Amino acid sequence: MKTFYLLIITIILNLHSTSIQATERHRVKIIVNNWTSQVVLSYITGDIFKQMGYQVIYQPMAISEQWGALAYGVSDVQVEVWEGTMAEPFNRMVEDGLFMSAGEHSAKTREDWWYPDYIEKLCPGLPDWKALKACAPLFAREGSNQKGVYFAGPWEKPDEARIRALEMDFVVHTVENGDDLWVELEKSLTALQPIVLFNWTPNWVESRYQGKFVEFPAYDRKCETESSWGENKEFLYDCGNPKGGWLKKAASIQLKTEAKCAFNTLQNINFTNQQISAVSALVDVEKLSYQQAATRWLTENKRLWKTWIVTDCKL
């Protein structure tokens, strides 16, 4: 009897989906980048779309590849566009109508040079960048020729340009995988060796370690466009990254025109600093898989995410 009912339901569902196939697309392609919270939020978003009846495809991709993918409709969704690393291409291409913003999360973000607190004893004056500049030799590593080493992530930032503009005696060491940053951090903490590295907030690191961002000259758009602006009159990038930066969602034009329910739901999806930091800690501290972290979050926050799903939906 049970099987019979299931069969009927399946037939009805199938008929229903064929009847709307012409107007509504049933497949959503989600870009998966390479830092923890983005991966978990992608899976959470994907599971919400699946609940709505969409078929979801995950597409692992570097930040630099995602813009073209969104513009050509190869991909539909990127759930974490960070102002500090991505504002320039994002703003330009949204302005050109190549893809769209699907709104902002509540979370406020910052991405910049960061150090663990114990270094303040060795380098008085931190977090001011001038103190860091004076302490450069403290951050030297084997083979760096007495220059300080800054550990950068695999996400393009104009760090070399900033070092040059602020005349800092530093070199950039770019790690291959984002997670290698935490390997370097742990190594330095164990050896009580000074380290300055790329970090961001919200992230799991703040739930585990005391530390601070270096305070470079405050960000201003002109810092990236007018060399005469700021500390150095000849060079660009003589400033830090934005504080209190935005965190946005990107969507392809096709998502809006062909999968309206998914687009409208994406607009409602909204994470806070605390939530993003907590989901990344599930993976990086508690060692859950990305999917396990997403499932845990969905189980514990049903009431919230169900309000994100648009109700006037014919899928």
Applying CB under 6 A, the residues found at the interface with ligand TMO are 35, 82, 85, 111, 153, 155, 200
Give the closest residue to 307 by CA, choosing from 98, 51, 9.
51
In the complex with ligand TMO, which residue's Cβ is closer, 188 or 280? 280
In the complex with ligand TMO, which residue's Cβ is closer, 219 or 263? 219
Minimum CB separation of residue 40 from ligand TMO in Å reads 13
In the complex with ligand TMO, which residue's Cβ is closer, 58 or 118? 58
Where does the chain show beta strands of DSSP type E?
Answer: 27-32, 55-60, 77-82, 100-104, 110-116, 148-152, 170-174, 196-201, 211-213, 247-251
What's at 36, amino acid-wise?
T
**Are the CB atoms for 34 and 78 separated by under 8 Å?**
no
**Are the CB atoms for 109 and 84 separated by under 8 Å?**
yes
Minimum CB separation of residue 280 from ligand TMO in Å reads 10
**Are the CB atoms for 110 and 242 separated by under 8 Å?**
yes
In the complex with ligand TMO, which residue's Cβ is closer, 258 or 284? 284
Minimum CB separation of residue 81 from ligand TMO in Å reads 9
Minimum CB separation of residue 192 from ligand TMO in Å reads 26
CA 202 centroid distance within chain: 9
Dist CA 73 CA 145 (whole Å): 47
In the complex with ligand TMO, which residue's Cβ is closer, 35 or 49? 35
Dist CA 156 CA 151 (whole Å): 12
Residue nearest to ligand TMO (CB): 35
In the complex with ligand TMO, which residue's Cβ is closer, 254 or 275? 275
Minimum CB separation of residue 140 from ligand TMO in Å reads 26
Minimum CB separation of residue 283 from ligand TMO in Å reads 14
Dist CA 188 CA 116 (whole Å): 10
